[in-house]
């Protein structure tokens, strides 16, 4: 956790939408954090303050499709490093590596351009939310296929009851999240 008051401020601006996208699901909607200029700045600065520390400064930020693009690209810009998108299959034009992972029903595939990172690059991997952890784990595997090191995974929201953050940490990936929702 970053800082209690910042955490609480951000939590208050996350909208919970009941029964979306399916009955019984409480969707944690981060769009209200983005639409208010002050909240957006507090959000981005929470990440930038952490990763501008020379010990934690990445070579590249990788964002997961699609909300990871919104925050990841701004964080990369502020840190003065490059940004690379990890996209759902079929969206990237150049040669890619791909990784398929299981969803609750079916599977999904994500892709990354083969020249997106260099061997040995220290990469910060960003998404809006960690639920089962499948998406972030797939992103980590893609970056590692190209010889990069994912130095940390970061997200605005963690849903720990779904087990994703524990699974990611158990795989050796350090995680940084700002808001933790115990009920899902």
Residue numbers of the site for ligand HSX (CB under 6 A)? 64, 67, 127-135, 164
What is the nearest approach in angstroms of ligand HSX to the Cβ of residue 92?
17
What is the nearest approach in angstroms of ligand HSX to the Cβ of residue 119?
26
Whether the CB-CB separation of 127 and 135 falls below 8 Å is answered with: yes
Residue 50 exposed, middle or buried by CB count within 10 Å (0-12, 13-18, 19+): middle
Of 131 and 146, nearer to ligand HSX (C-beta) is 131
DSSP calls for 34-86: HHSHHHHHHHHHHHHHHHTSTTT--SEEEEETTHHHHHHHHHHHHHT-EEEEE
What is the nearest approach in angstroms of ligand HSX to the Cβ of residue 3?
24
Calpha distance 99→87 (Å, rounded) = 11
Of 76 and 157, nearer to ligand HSX (C-beta) is 157
Of 22 and 119, nearer to ligand HSX (C-beta) is 22
What is the nearest approach in angstroms of ligand HSX to the Cβ of residue 129?
4
Of 57 and 160, nearer to ligand HSX (C-beta) is 160
What is the nearest approach in angstroms of ligand HSX to the Cβ of residue 103?
7
What SS3 state is found at 2?
A: coil
Of 57 and 167, nearer to ligand HSX (C-beta) is 167
Whether the CB-CB separation of 141 and 123 falls below 8 Å is answered with: no
């Amino acid at each position: 956790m970053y800082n209690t008051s910042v955490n609480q401020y951000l939590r208050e601006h996350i909208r919970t939408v009941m029964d979306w996208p399916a009955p019984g699901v409480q969707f944690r909607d981060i769009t209200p954090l983005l639409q208010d200029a002050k909240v957006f700045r507090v959000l981005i600065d929470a990440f930038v303050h952490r990763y501008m520390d020379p010990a934690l400064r990445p070579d590249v930020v990788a964002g997961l499709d699609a909300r990871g693009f919104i925050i990841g690209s701004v964080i990369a810009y502020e840190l003065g490093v490059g940004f690379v998108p990890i996209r759902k299959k079929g969206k990237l034009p150049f040669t890619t590596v791909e990784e398929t992972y299981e969803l609750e029903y079916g599977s999904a595939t994500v892709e990354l351009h083969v020249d997106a990172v260099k061997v040995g690059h220290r990469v910060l991997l960003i998404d809006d939310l960690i639920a089962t952890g499948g998406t972030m784990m797939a992103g980590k595997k893609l970056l590692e296929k190209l010889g990069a090191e994912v130095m940390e995974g970061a997200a605005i929201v963690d849903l720990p009851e779904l087990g994703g953050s524990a699974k990611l940490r158990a795989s050796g990936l350090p995680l940084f999240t700002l808001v933790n929702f115990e009920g899902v």
